[in-house]
A and B are shown apart, each in its own frame.
Chain A
Amino acid sequence: NAGVTQTPKFRVLKTGQSMTLLCAQDMNHEYMYWYRQDPGMGLRLIHYSVGEGTTAKGEVPDGYNVSRLKKQNFLLGLESAAPSQTSVYFCASRTRTAILVYTDTQYFGPGTRLTVL
């Protein structure tokens, strides 16, 4: 049981290049999230998904696109990378079914450190 995994762990891009970050979870969670973390800014939600085939915008969606073709995978795409997208990206997942009262816990992946030059 690997939990939440992210690939790649590190990446350096040049301005204008594109890339896709992959998040995978083996906990059969319905909800998945993409966050970015910048120094002093905490975690900011980029996009999220409540199920296969559905996605929605979070707080800072501009410049990113996402897809959830399979329940276990959530992809984050950068079509034309900009230096402002240099950040650490975290994926998280959560179950929808409350086995216990208030099971809002989010499980995070190890992160992807992206640098855009």
Chain B
Amino acid sequence: GQQVMQIPQYQHVQEGEDFTTYCNSSTTLSNIQWYKQRPGGHPVFLIQLVKSGEVKKQKRLTFQFGEAKKNSSLHITATQTTDVGTYFCAGPHRGSTLGRLYFGRGTQLTVWP
């Protein structure tokens, strides 16, 4: 069945180090979304990528969508303590127009000061 896999599950970094999380789908995706969940909070939308090979930046965050539209990555440059949280990728359910998303299991980022 359709799956969205995300690695690593956990990442511990020292403040100032870089961080990357990877997302892979078993099927081609029409688009991919990234969400961030702070500890004790709820998922909040960060960005959506649609085009093959697309790269988008939000300050220190860089999002990429693979050429085959089956993988994506989120890279944070020079992490800060405010980056702590769990980052999820999500891809739409194949063939569905009902807005269903498959979420990866997330990467939990811890940043040591």
A binds B: yes
Q: Which residues of B contact A106 (CB under 8 A)?
A: 43, 45, 99, 101
- Give A42-74 as 1s and 0s: 1 = Cβ < 8 Å from B's Cβ atoms: 111100101000001010000000000000000
Considering only CB atoms and an 8 Å cut-off, how many residues of chain B contact the other chain? 22
Partner among B31, B42, B48, B106 whose Cβ is within 8 Å of the Cβ of A42? B106
**Given the known A-B contacts A40-B105, A42-B106, are A105 and B100 also in contact in the complex, defined by CB atoms under 8 Å?**
no
Q: Which residues of A contact B6 (CB under 8 A)?
A: 42
Summed over the interface, the residue pairs from A and B with CB atoms below 8 Å come to a total of: 57
Would you give the shortest CB distance from B105 to chain A, in whole angstroms? 4
Partner among B31, B41, B44 whose Cβ is within 8 Å of the Cβ of A104? B31
Which residue of chain B is the closest to A88 with respect to CB atoms? Answer: B42
Would you give the shortest CB distance from A65 to chain B, in whole angstroms? 19
Residues of A within 8 A of B (CB): 31, 33, 40-45, 48, 50, 56, 58, 90, 92, 94, 96, 101-102, 104-111
Closest 6 CB pairs of A and B: A42-B105, A43-B103, A108-B42, A42-B103, A105-B45, A94-B99
17 contacts between A and B (CB under 8 A): A31-B99, A33-B100, A40-B9, A40-B105, A42-B88, A42-B106, A45-B100, A48-B100, A90-B43, A92-B43, A102-B31, A104-B33, A104-B48, A104-B92, A108-B43, A109-B42, A110-B42
